Amino acid sequence: SNEMLLAMQNERESNARSYPRRLPIAIKQAKGAVITDMDGKEYIDCLAGAGTLALGHNHYVVHEAIQDVLAKSIPLHTLDLTTPVKEAFIDEVFASLPEQFANKAKIQFCGPTGGDAIEAALKLVKTATGNRTILSFQGGYHGSTHGTLSISGTTSPKKHIHALVPDTHFLPYPYEYRCPFGVGAEGHTYISTYIENMLDDPESGIVTPAGVVVEIVQGEGGSVPAPIPWLKELRRITKERNIPLIVDEVQTGIGRTGKLYAFEHADIQPDVLVLSKAIGGSLPLSVVLYDKKLDQWEAGAHIGTFRGNQLAMATGQATLQFIKQENLPAHAHELGAYIQSQLKHIQKQVFSIGDVRGRGLMLGVEIIDATKPANKIGSHPANGELAKLIQKECFDRGVILEVGGRHGAVIRLLPPLILTKQQTDEVLTRFEEAIKAAEE
Ligand code: PMP
């Protein structure tokens, strides 16, 4: 039963578990967007392996890809050695990229987490530029290792970790609900002028960084989309100064935001693109794609044992192919817009929703304390406690979702891209009930 497995988990697993404590479920099986627990209760999964399961659970193309590898006796693990499965995966990834980037890109397999791929990207640009400072953004999240934690804006996981990697400089992210830097004529943004000034100011200490790392939509930071003009400005500034722009699409990539790659919304191209999560089609895989000009590191500069998971490459290729064939990014775009409009409707009927935002199926609902006064731009203090209560009320009603962002006050929705309209309406109805119950 649920209870029995949860008791075993609680007794044996580490204290470092976080969300499983808020989502007390032992999973028996899962199909599509639906998870069934050990007692037979069904949940709509709006967490989807933290955005990994683009096609939901146990999609038939994923199963077929696995069976094909097994039938052909392709070695399951090959270190960095190549196979037809690997080359087909690379073909599919290159074909999915904007042509201009694909034509100049090289690929590095990493091992196999998003965090390891970010580590590789940092080492790549440090080697190529000879510089040491990394610019990243407040509220950004890039992983849990010493290196990636160092460039992550989230502060609580760093509390006890002294001696992180030095020379990171944090810039403010254009978080419009709380930090509206404004977008003026011709896309001028105050925040990008600020960055430009920092780079010109000899006293700032960041005149020649090794690279800038950015999420197009901050994920763990609370589903915060950067405005398009700001992204264009960031690209212009970094290009003019020859600073490699590392775009972390670990969470946004492969259709989630309504385009295959989130940078396409801004019609910009990265110098370095980091992919993990959905690129493995449910299995662990991560890659860095980068401009050939940066390919100046030496043989063995980024190694690691588990970089040759053929099953993950096969499921990743099949997933990417299916997403393109079925035009799932367009589905994610439409469904996401519909969900946002419905959530804004709910916002009018309750007290505690401060902001509804996102791109595609990467959505955030910021929960506030409306009993406390708003500041000068009309935003109220964040209310993480209420957000967790809403999460629990949703869970009790059979919807799995996560909280994140500053103060843990953002309800995050990351459903699989195959979520149906009917399931969407179920989620919305239950969410509305949950928030009303939590407010009481
Ligand atoms: N970058 C981003 C944007 C992420 O969302 C995450 C994971 N949530 C990571 C990096 C780290 O990936 P992993 O957990 O696989 O190391």
- ipTM summary value: 0.99
Give the domain ranges of the chain: 2-58+327-439, 74-325
Q: Whose CA is nearest to atom 12 of ligand 1?
A: 114
When mean pLDDT is compared across 26-35, 187-196, 211-220, the lowest value belongs to 187-196
Q: Which of 19, 122, 277 to mutate to test the pocket of ligand 1 (most atoms within 8 A of CB)?
A: 277
Radius of gyration of the chain (CA): 22
Residue 188 has pLDDT above 70, yes or no: no
Model pLDDT, residue 194: 87
Q: What is the pLDDT of residues 275-297, one digit of tens each?
A: 999 999 999 999 999 999 999 99
Band (pLDDT 50/70/90 cuts) for residue 422 is very high
Q: What is the pLDDT of residues 326-340, one digit of tens each?
A: 999 999 999 999 999
Model pLDDT, residue 389: 98
Q: Is the CB of 114 under 6 A from ligand 1?
A: yes
Q: Is the CB of 340 under 6 A from ligand 1?
A: no
Band (pLDDT 50/70/90 cuts) for residue 191 is confident
Q: Is the CB of 251 under 6 A from ligand 1?
A: yes
- What is the mean pLDDT of the segment spanning 308-319? 97
Model pLDDT, residue 300: 95
Domains 2-58+327-439 and 74-325 share a fold: no
* Residue labelled with tokens 């398009």: 228
Which CATH superfamily, name and number, covers 2-58+327-439?
A: Aspartate Aminotransferase, domain 1 (3.90.1150.10)
Q: Is the CB of 276 under 6 A from ligand 1?
A: yes
d(C-alpha 368, C-alpha 354), whole Å: 6
d(C-alpha 150, C-alpha 96), whole Å: 31
pTM above 0.80, yes or no: yes
CA distances from 269 to 102, 265, 375 (A): 10, 10, 37
Model pLDDT, residue 62: 98
Q: What percent of the chain has pLDDT over 90?
A: 90
Q: Average model confidence (pLDDT) for the chain?
A: 95
Atom of ligand 1 nearest to the CA of 215: 3
Residue 184 has pLDDT above 70, yes or no: no
Q: What is the pLDDT of residues 107-121, one digit of tens each?
A: 999 999 999 999 999
Residue 343 has pLDDT above 70, yes or no: yes
- What is the mean pLDDT of the segment spanning 407-417? 97
Band (pLDDT 50/70/90 cuts) for residue 182 is low
Q: What is the pLDDT of residues 51-99, one digit of tens each?
A: 999 999 999 999 999 999 999 999 999 999 999 999 999 999 999 999 9
Which architecture does CATH list for 74-325? 3-Layer(aba) Sandwich (3.40)
What is the per-residue DSSP string for 214-266? E-SEESTTTSEEPPHHHHHHHHHHHHHTT--EEEE-TTTTTTTTSSSSGGGGG
Nearest C-alpha neighbor of 338 from the set 233, 425, 408: 425
